[in-house]
Amino acid sequence: MAHTPLQPDGLESEDHPWRIRLVEHPKRFESAEFRAAKKTAQAILLAMDDPDLPYGPRPVDPGSEPDAPAHWEMHHGGSLWVKGPTCWRMYRARVGIEWSMQFCADPAKVDRLRQEASDLMDAFPLTVPALAELGYDRAEELLRTPIVDADGVEAWTDSLFNACVPMSRGNHQGVLPGVPGEHHYPWPVKGADFIRYDDFQLWVTLPDGTHGAVTPVDRRGSGDGHVRLAFVPEGSDAAETIAEAQERGLMAVLPATSSVARQAFAQQIAPDRRTASGPLSSDAGPRPHRSSG
């Protein structure tokens, strides 16, 4: 990658250094719209069978009563809940509006999200009546009223159709080396947490101590233990390599003997094997992963 060389006897400096202040959030007002949406989403979730939940098993609050309802965090991620003939389903909108992002949102662009949601609800005609039965009587008005100003953007942002993607705290806001949350890691990578095999380790510790994500380069059982670097944080020793690979249309691949590959496939290979390549261990299981939280 090309770099501008420092001239002899030259100095590097910044005339306009940047500073970041850490300040307390202003007290966040929980709108009546959001309270109604959360209440409705909780009712839907309690009525759902565990295999139908969108993002893994129900979270449980530490120290809660055994029969207490699980605590979901509601992510403003574009939650399009629909009622089918047998059960509820949640689809993700083309774009979710995070709460703080409403203040830069163009009403005309948000209105397109409303129109798309309305089209989806029309394809599931049981939805709006079912929501009304749960007490969410704003659904019809929200879906049919054009969004033309900041009030309309605010109402849509906190509505059931945007604000109620149910996630555990880790999957919502967590950071590595714990659980990677959607707020901190790119969705094309984080989304794999909900489809990966239980015995494949998506998130790994890199040789420089930073945490990244890797994927296999071939299908399960192929015997190929190479892994592709899918994500590393800025500041990682591998960041420039990944950037250059993407710029040139190439993959950044680590060998099967690397510590990273052996971490990724650790549950699929024997503990004493020095390479991730080869046949699956007899202990490797075929079940797909449902959640990292």
**Distance, CA of 233 to CA of 212 (rounded, Å):** 7
Q: Tell me, what's the pLDDT at 120?
A: 98
- Is the separation of the CB atoms in 287 and 198 below 8 Å? yes
Is residue 15 over pLDDT 70? no
Average pLDDT of 222-236? 95
CA distance 225 to 205: 17
1 versus 274: the higher-pLDDT residue is: 274
**For position 58, what pLDDT does the model report?**
87
CA-nearest of 217, 214, 225, 219 to 189 is 214
Q: Are strands 211-216 and 203-205 parallel, antiparallel or unpaired?
A: antiparallel
Asked if 160 and 140 touch (Cβ cutoff 8 Å), the reply is no
Residue 3 in this model has a pLDDT that exceeds 50: no
User: Who wins on pLDDT, 60 or 66?
Assistant: 60
Q: What CA–CA distance (Å, rounded) separates 215 from 231?
A: 10
Cis preceding-peptide flag for 288 (omega within 30 of 0)? no
The whole-angstrom separation of Cα 273 and Cα 275 is 6
Look at residue 219 and tell me whether its pLDDT is greater than 50. Answer: yes
pLDDT in tens, 125-166: 999 999 999 999 999 999 999 999 999 999 999 999 999 999
- Per-residue pLDDT at 30: 84
Q: Is the pLDDT of residue 252 over 80?
A: yes
The two beta strands, 88-92 and 227-231, are unpaired
Q: What SS3 state is found at 159? A: coil
Return the beta strands (E) in 76-136 as ranges. 79-83, 88-92
Q: How far is CA 164 from CA 160, 169, 224, in A?
A: 6, 13, 40
For residues 219-223, average pLDDT: 95
Predicted pLDDT of residue 253: 94
Q: What is the mean pLDDT of residues 11-24?
A: 57
Of 116, 69, 84, whose CA–CA distance to 97 is shortest? 116
pLDDT at residue 40 greater than cutoff 60: yes
Per-residue model confidence (pLDDT) at position 39 = 96
The predicted structure's pLDDT at residue 64? 55
Q: Give the pLDDT confidence of 85-96 residue by residue, as tens digits.
A: 999 999 999 999
Answer whether residue 2 shows pLDDT above 50.
Answer: no
Tens digits of residue pLDDT in 111-124? 999 999 999 999 99
Each residue's pLDDT tens digit, 160-183: 999 999 999 899 999 999 999 999
Instruction: Flag the least confident range among 109-113, 136-140, 229-233, 278-282.
Output: 278-282
Amino acid at 181: G
Distance CA 263, CA 126 (A): 47
10 has a pLDDT exceeding 60: no
Q: What is the model's pLDDT at position 284?
A: 76
Whole-angstrom distance, CA of residue 245 vs CA of residue 253: 10
Average pLDDT, the chain: 88
Is the per-residue pLDDT at 69 higher than 70? Answer: no
Eight-state DSSP code of residue 111 = H
Longest pairwise C-alpha distance within the chain:
76
The Cβ-side half-sphere exposure at 88, using a 13 Å CA radius, reads: 23
Whether 68 has a pLDDT exceeding 70, the answer reads no
Percent of the chain at pLDDT > 90 equals 76
The set of residues, in sequence order, having a beta carbon less than 8 Å from that of 189 and lying 6+ positions away, is 202, 213, 230, 231
Q: Which amino acid is at 158?
A: D
What distance in Å separates the CA atoms of residue 240 and residue 108, rounded to the nearest whole number?
38
Instruction: Give the position of tokens 């420089």.
Output: 208
The answer for residues whose C-beta is within 8 angstroms of residue 190's C-beta and 6 or more apart is: 180, 181, 182
